Amino acid sequence: MIVRNLYLQRMKAYIERPEIKIITGTRRSGKTTLIMQMMNELKKDGVNSENIIYMDFESLMYLYLNKTEDFKNLLWSVLESKNGHCYLFLDELKGVDRWALVCREISENFDCDIFAISSTKSVMYEGFDSDLCYCYVNIEIFPLLFSEYLELIKGRTGYQGKNMNELFLEYIRKGSFPAVYSMDDNVIGNYLKDTYSSIILKDVVQFNNLRDISHIDKIMSYIMDHIGEIFSPKMIKDYIKERGLTISVDTIYSILDALIAAGVIFKVQRYDIKTSKTLETQEKYYVCDLNMRSQVTGDFSIGFEQAIENTLYMELMSRGFKVSLGKIGKYIIDFRAEKNQDVTYINCCYKLDSEEKIDEKFTPLLKIRDNYFKMVISMDEATVINKGGIINYPLISFLKQE
């Protein structure tokens, strides 16, 4: 087990502040372990164990507690018996009606920090922000970063003596779900298939009360086969129609929204750099874990550039960037990464090993006339300042940064 300081520091920044802390992330990405680490940090800081309260709403004890009033009465009775500041961790709240309204009332009446944890962003129901009087922060948890993976496998048998490129290939092969690194290779496939099934059943179908679920696997199949490619829901509709089934674009949008909320896929919209507008059609999609994608589809031949692009997207999101797909005229930039009102434009590829590849990756960046930082990230091992002062930066070095 490793300490996930990236997320712990974000959570600590809101300790003893009035905001409700909403922790979301893909099922089995390590949220509960992170919460346990946060609880241990509080104990190290001298907080009495009795004032640290953890409730798992997927456990049998709370499984059928879903009414607003019952939820309020439960929290009220627990906190009434406590002295001093309390830390309340509410895991998998997604089945509780208007949980946010109750959390706001509890925070107004008791001296406490509230952490609401969920494996789907759909827990943030329509109007939840109003119920919280907009006093909340959402911290999204992702599976292991490459730097976290390096820390996790440090000194382990089978990894010693490998260079960084070999370790990166192993990271791509095994994936980024933490649990796979404590398993034998022969059980990882079943674990990832079970994880996928659990996400689809619990966080997509059941939570969203989807009735027609026959199309979900086909939609996921299309997305998994087209990672990093630009397409539209209309193209998914045509793909399904070719297989003898009908589905409306509206239904596709609804299913996509549920899949995105569950963190199994991520949508990257196009951003027109000239007009500074987000475009509503023709987007890219990425998956939460490349090995899960391979195990579910049975296709282990994903292109290396696709794998690099997916990995880099997850890295940027984990670091807190808002990521979009840059468009400048007829040219496309893989990532427009925005954070704290600063922007970085990034193209990525396997290697810049030909003039054609150099032109393909650098020309779009040279078309951008603003002064924000621009770079090409690749598996090349040396940092090179190329055309127009744009840096070609090694992917491994970028991923290892803290």
Helix (H, G, I), strand (E, B) or coil at 25: strand
Give the burial class of 325: count Cβ atoms within 10 A of its Cβ; 0-12 exposed, 13-18 middle, 19 or more buried.
Answer: buried
Which pLDDT does position 64 carry in this prediction? 84
Query: What residues contact 174, with CB distance under 8 A and at least 6 apart?
Result: 180, 181, 188, 291
Q: Which of 114, 107, 112, 64 is nearest to 90 (CA)?
A: 114
How far is residue 37's CA from residue 87's CA, in Å, rounded to a whole number?
13
Q: Is the pTM of this model over 0.85?
A: yes
Tell me what pLDDT residue 402 has. Answer: 63
For the chain, list residues with pLDDT below 50. none
Q: Which amino acid is at 141?
A: I
- pLDDT value, residue 382: 87
> pLDDT tens across 93-150, in order?
888 999 999 999 999 999 999 999 999 999 999 999 999 999 999 999 999 999 999 9
Q: How much is the pLDDT for 161?
A: 86
Tokens 């976290």 locate to 148
How do the residues of the chain divide into helix, strand and coil, expressed in percent and rounded to 5? 45, 20, 35
Comparing C-alpha atoms, which of 239, 303, 236, 227 is closest to residue 264? 227
Query: What is the Cα–Cα distance from 243 to 392, expressed in whole angstroms?
Result: 43
Half-sphere exposure of 193 (CA within 13 A, CB side): 9
Q: Return the ∠ at Cα 38 (arms to 400 and 21), rounded to 5°.
A: 95
Residues 177 and 192: their CA atoms lie apart, in Å, by 9
Per-residue DSSP letters for 219-283?
HHHHHHHTTT--B-HHHHHHHHHTTT----HHHHHHHHHHHHHTTSEEEE-EEETTTTEE-SSSB
pLDDT of res. 308: 96
pLDDT of amino acid 19:
97
pLDDT in tens, 74-94: 999 999 999 999 999 999 988
